[in-house]
Amino acid sequence: MAERDLNEMLKEMESKSRLHAEGGVDHLDDTQRVKVLSPGRLVFKRFIRNRLAIVGSCILIFMFVFCFIGPIFYPYEQTDKFYKTDILENADYAAAQKRTEYSIIKVDESVSVHYSVTNMMNYYINEMKKTGDDIMLVKSDSGEKYLVQYQADNVYTLNVSNLNRIGVHASELLICEFDMLTQTLTYSEGIVMDEAFGEMAKTAAMDNLDKFVYDGKTYAVENTGRKKYAVKYYADSGIQYIAENPGGGFEDAVLAAITEGEKTFEFGGSRYLLDQAAPGAYDIYKFAIGDILFVCSTYSVDILSGAAVPADFVKAALIGYCRGGAFSYNGIDYVISEEIENRDTVVNIYRLGETKNPYARFTTFSVSRHSGSGDLTIEFKEDVRRKIEEMIEQGKSVDTLITKVEKQASDGSVMVDEDGNVIYEDTKVTITRKGDNYTITCDRFRYLIDRYAPPFSEVSTDVHILGTDGDGFDIFARIMYGGRISLMVGFVVVIIETILGIIMGGISGYFGGWVDTLIMRLVEIFYCIPSLPIMIIIGAYLDAEQVNPYIRLIWLMAVLGFLGWASVARLVRGQILSLREQEFMLATEVEGLRVSRRIFRHLIPNVMPQLIVTATAGLGSVILLESTLSFLGLGVKHPLATWGTMINSVSDYNSMVNYTYIWIPVGLLICLTVIAFNFVGDGLRDAFDPKMKS
Amino acid sequence: MNTRNKEQTVPQENDNLLEVRHLKKYFPIRSSFFRQVTGYVKAVDDISFTIKRGTTMGLVGESGCGKSTVGRTLLRLYPKTSGEVLFNGRDIFKMSKKELRQFRPRIQIIFQDPYSSLSPRLPVGEIIGEAVREHNIVPPEEYDDYITRVMKACGLQEYHKERYPHEFSGGQRQRICIARALALNPEFIVCDEPVSALDVSIQAQIINLLKRLQKQFNLTYLFISHDLSVVEHISDTVGVMYLGSMVEYAPTEKVFAKPLHPYTEALFSAIPVPDPDYKMERIVLEGSIPSPANPPAGCKFHTRCRKYMEVCKYAAPVWKEVEPGHFCACHLYDSETERAEAERQAEAAKAEAENSKAV
């Protein structure tokens, strides 16, 4: 071919024409003065003339500034919890209990006592209280005998019994029992009679006689019911001595004790004990008190300084009390003395040498803090105890008293003077009885989560413009942070949708053929996918996996974007199909431009206007969808705020009616944002379409 | 391929820039459901011509006769069905994609519609210069000046560079199209009805611009038009097409002075003469153009021809040089041997048709 250079030829022409034009006057060219507007600038010009679109844009700009820049200047975070102090009327302060159950303290851990005795201790003590005895013989199921001894009020001991059986006194002796149904004759323990007696007893019972005579002695037969008969021998047989007879008049003393129902009696300077072995039969023991095995007491110990009482100290004090009133604990010696104080007998424990101020005191009351921790003063405990005893006397179940309770600062903390001592003040305290337990209540300051604070409420130094929600979070802060997520989700989802849609639609429209068919069928499948059930399944899966809320957010955006590209792809494909046949696309082919350049420089810019319009309109719907999903609990999770979750927090009727300040602002913001996006979308559509009348 | 094609002769000269040989372009007709091919639209059916360097060939014919398809197929915008297109002796259809892309600037096209042939979102400078940069037509440092020069050569001002197509009138847009084609330094430009969308005064400007550019830069044009006066004005040779086939080809003066083919005669009788006293002898063609999917047998024109003979129905006329440089395909100009051959063919075809009717 003939090589020729167009450029050189043009240059030549230019120089020639310049020679011609030399000295010629440039004529005015009006077109040169017309301002040049690119298509984008034209669209912008038309857009800013649309009043609604400008309103929409202003709202959106406000939203973005509010949500993305606002939080920087707002003092609270979305998850800052706010607290308030409040006077809690009749807050539980302490609990008191009058101890009536005797607790058993083992003196020697190595000695074992049969459980039938230890379990029955409270019963034995109550029996002794009823009869007024100071001593009681108890037998275990395994046959051992023990003595329960009264030591002081509320203090009993279980002792080893050093019994000396002196004799048996019987006034009525059960010989045998006869059961007419089985024809059996059962002899009482220790009684042996011959067969003739048995026969006589049987016949007497059968003949319904009330007595018979055998071997010169008269025996009585008594019907004890149900065809059972008891054969008894009445005889004042006196005392059969096993040991040496203590002396004359002893029998009278025994009889006197039996007739008076006494279990113990004194004779000749010694104590004796009657034990009813069988009806009318008594074993007579001379006894001596043996070693103490258990101490049983309803006492606990209050240390007067208010310090906590170790269990070992109580044990040592009680054992010491039983052994004469002195004990030592942790190397310090203590003395116990009973004193009269306000007409009550109190048992005080002194440290040896300190006789003025008692160190501790026995008490049947346990008074403790309701919270379980912290100490109470002895004055408070004493006041409460006295009041409760008064209540018991008067049969009241509720009563009040004035006593000293720690003074509280308004934030709920305990007030302290300069020396670090707790300040007390007189407070009205209410005692309520519930069985053996007493609840002590008084008005206290409490530090609480500031839930559902109304707008502009001021608690201490925090001011909440829109109040707080059910978790004590500041609503205004949450609206801003929630808006961030809602707007971000909207944008990211739309960007994902658009990118996927451009790629898929672009491939489909530009290449056509089987690729187009494949992608369009895929688009149809995506149109058929029900997105809500899929979101519910994914939400459930993410719940089960306990995914971090931020990762959950990414998932949400990815899934929403992935489900939404189909409509964009369809739009892009349609546009590209029509653009592809336009002559300027043929021209690019003739010019030999690369495929990528043809797509990205010629096709995509021509699709962009429609894309921008649909994307803007889509933003609003994505924000709504995100709110819906969050409302259903599938989207972003607590404590991350989004507008949807905020409305969800007042989803029941009661809170919706009572806490309107939570959902109305959020609802308004959602409405405004969606409307604004629609305004802008409409404005862009009109601006891109020059045929529309303004 | 029948004997007629073998005998066909093509004007042969050393200076031929473009040579089209037996070019065929059939568009498949597909059924709507299974996309099976049920027939073909024979848009270009066996066309041959040559264009000498620096000349203009006019291609005329009524609407739908395949003129534009010829233009686009020889640019390889459509795949061919058969035949070959030699440019400077190289077959365009045998080039690889890479070769084709490098070759592209040498052949350009100017479209009929200046509105749809410019991308609305690019400024004019970019439309003209985009491919210049892509193909490195000029060194990068001279690029801006080069575009300005090309624009000036096409009657555009430098400040038009930043403007967008919607700001221009139709004539200016066509100038932009011409500048876009020219900027690639082509040797051959297919002008696909470049002036039919413009009003008459602008048509003259564009035609004169094209002629001027041809003279200045030694361009070769294939000028497709249905406007015979424009073709007469610009062309050196003229081809007349009817229903996908070339029926007459000759230097412009010869065709306009003495059209041989009855179709050409009818066509040229419709040229308005700017003289109120002149009495026009219009030859009115009856009926409409037959479907290119099912063209008539024998001579394609016989259904509308004033001078048709029995033989025209069955035997296709032979493409032959009736006068020196004047080619035509019509039975009217058959020699004795050709007439005999045609009648023999006609008899055979008739017999065959009757056989098939009997069956």
The rounded Cα A677 to chain-centroid distance in angstroms is 45
Where does a domain end: A234, A255, A286? A234
A305 and A163 part of one domain? no
Mean pLDDT of the region B215-232: 90
Q: In what order do the strands lie in the sheet with A326-329?
A: A300-303, A360-363, A344-351, A332-341, A326-329
Residues A122 and A150 grouped into a single domain:
yes
Residue at A157 is within a domain: yes
- Residues A154, A180: one domain? no
pLDDT at residue B7, rounded to an integer? 40
A303 with A290, same domain: the answer is no
Bridging pattern class, strands A264-267 and A326-329: unpaired
Does A496 share its domain with A543?
A: yes
Instruction: Select from B97, B164, B188 the residue whose CB has the most chain A CBs within 10 Å, as the one to mutate to test that interface.
Output: B164
Residue A146 exposure: Cα atoms within 13 Å on the Cβ side: 25
**pLDDT digits over B167-187, tens only?**
888 889 999 999 999 999 899
A602 vs A579: CA distance, rounded Å: 9
Distance from CA of A4 to the nearest CA of B (A): 9
A58 Cα to chain B: minimum distance (Å): 28
pLDDT per residue over A523-569, tens digit each?
999 989 888 888 888 888 888 888 888 888 888 889 888 888 998 99
Q: Which residue range is the domain that position A184 belongs to?
A: 172-234
Yes or no, beta carbons of B157 and A32 under 8 Å apart: yes
Interface touch B153/A13, C-beta < 8 Å: yes
Interface of B with A in 208-237 (CB under 8 A): 216-218
For the segment B115-131, the average pLDDT, to the nearest whole number, is 88
Beta strand pairing status for B188-192 and B107-110?
parallel
Neighbours of A153 (CB within 10 A): 14
CA-based nearest distance A528→chain B, Å: 24
Calpha distance B201→A183 (Å, rounded)? 153
A606/B119 CB distance under 8 A: yes
Q: Which helix (H) or strand (E) holds A117?
A: helix A115-118
Q: Which residues of chain A have pLDDT under 50?
A: 1-2, 23-28, 693-694
Are residues A244 and A119 part of one domain? yes
Cβ <8 Å between A606 and B120: yes
Residue to mutate among B77, B121, B212, with most A CBs inside 10 A, is: B121
Residues A484 and A621 in one domain: yes
Q: Among the three residues A357, A372, A403, which one is the final residue of a domain in this structure? A: A357
Would an 8 Å CB–CB cutoff place A21 in contact with chain B? no
Listed residues A326, A357, A388: the one ending a domain? A357
Residue A183 has a CB neighbour count (10 Å cut-off) of: 10
CB contact under 8 A, B122 and A9: no
Evaluate whether residue A40 is within a structural domain.
no
Determine whether the interchain pair B153/A10 forms a contact, defined as Cβ–Cβ distance below 8 Å. Answer: yes
Residue A13 distance to chain B (closest CA, Å): 9
What is the reported pLDDT for B207?
Answer: 92
Q: Is residue A368 in a domain?
A: no
The size of the A-B interface in CB pairs under 8 A is 110
Chain A residue with CA closest to B118: the answer is: A584
A587 has a chain B CB within 8 A of its CB: yes
Co-location of A333 and A205 in the same domain: no
Measured in angstroms, the CA of A607 and the nearest CA of chain B are apart by 10
- Please give the C-alpha separations between residue A345 and each of A99, A341, A342, A363, A412, in angstroms, as whole numbers: 17, 6, 8, 11, 38
Is the domain of A189 the same as that of A322?
no
B77 CB neighbours in chain A (<8 A) are 586, 589-590
Contact state of A590 with B107 under an 8 Å Cβ cutoff: yes
Q: How far is CA A512 from CA A595, B110, B156, B272, in A?
A: 14, 26, 38, 46
Tally of structural domains, chain A: 4
Note whether residue A76 is domain-resident: no
pTM: 0.63
Q: Do A605 and B107 touch (CB under 8 A)?
A: no
Asked if A630 and A642 touch (Cβ cutoff 8 Å), the reply is: yes
The Cα of A653 is separated from the nearest Cα of chain B by a number of Å equal to: 55
Q: Do B117 and A597 touch (CB under 8 A)?
A: no
Distance CA(A499)–CA(A488), nearest Å, equals 16
**Chain B residues close to A590, C-beta within 8 Å:** 75, 77, 104, 107-109
- In angstroms, how far is CA A76 from the centroid of its own chain? 27
The pLDDT score that the predictor gives to residue A693 is: 47
Confidence of residue B34 (pLDDT cuts 50, 70, 90): confident
Whether residues A245 and A119 share a domain: the answer is: yes
* Minimum-distance CB partner of B119 among A6, A9, A584: A584
Asked if residues B112 and B79 have their Cβ atoms less than 8 Å apart, the reply is no
Nearest to B149 among A2, A11, A29 (CB): A11
**Distance between CA atoms of A302 and A316, rounded to whole angstroms?**
14
Q: What is the structure's pLDDT at B343? A: 85
Give ipTM to 2 decimals: 0.83
pLDDT grade, residue B189 (50/70/90)? very high
Q: Is residue A383 part of a domain?
A: no
Residues of A in contact with B88 (CB under 8 A): 1
User: Per-residue pLDDT for B224 more than 90?
Assistant: yes
Question: Which band of pLDDT confidence, cut at 50, 70 and 90, is reported for residue B236?
Answer: very high
User: Based on the domain organization, do A148 and A263 belong to the same domain?
Assistant: yes
Q: Which residues of A touch B216 (CB under 8 A)?
A: 9, 13
- Cβ contact, residue pair B217, A4, below 8 Å: yes
Q: Which of residues 526-585 of A touch B (CB under 8 A)?
A: 582-584
pLDDT at residue number A499: 92
Which chain B residues have a beta carbon less than 8 Å from that of A3? none
Q: What is the mean pLDDT of chain B?
A: 86
In a domain, A84, yes or no: no
Asked if A206 and A331 sit in the same domain, the reply is no
Question: Is residue A48 one of the residues assigned to a domain?
Answer: no
pLDDT of residue A311: 78
- Are residues B167 and A36, on separate chains, in Cβ contact within 8 Å? yes
DSSP conformational letter for B142: G
The answer to whether residue A617 is domain-embedded is: yes
Nearest-CA neighbor of B242 among B175, B185, B316, B189? Answer: B316
Q: Which of B116, B144, B177 to substitute to test the interface with A, most A CBs within 10 Å?
A: B116
CA dist B43 and B292 (Å) reads: 6
Neighbours of B333 (CB within 10 A): 17
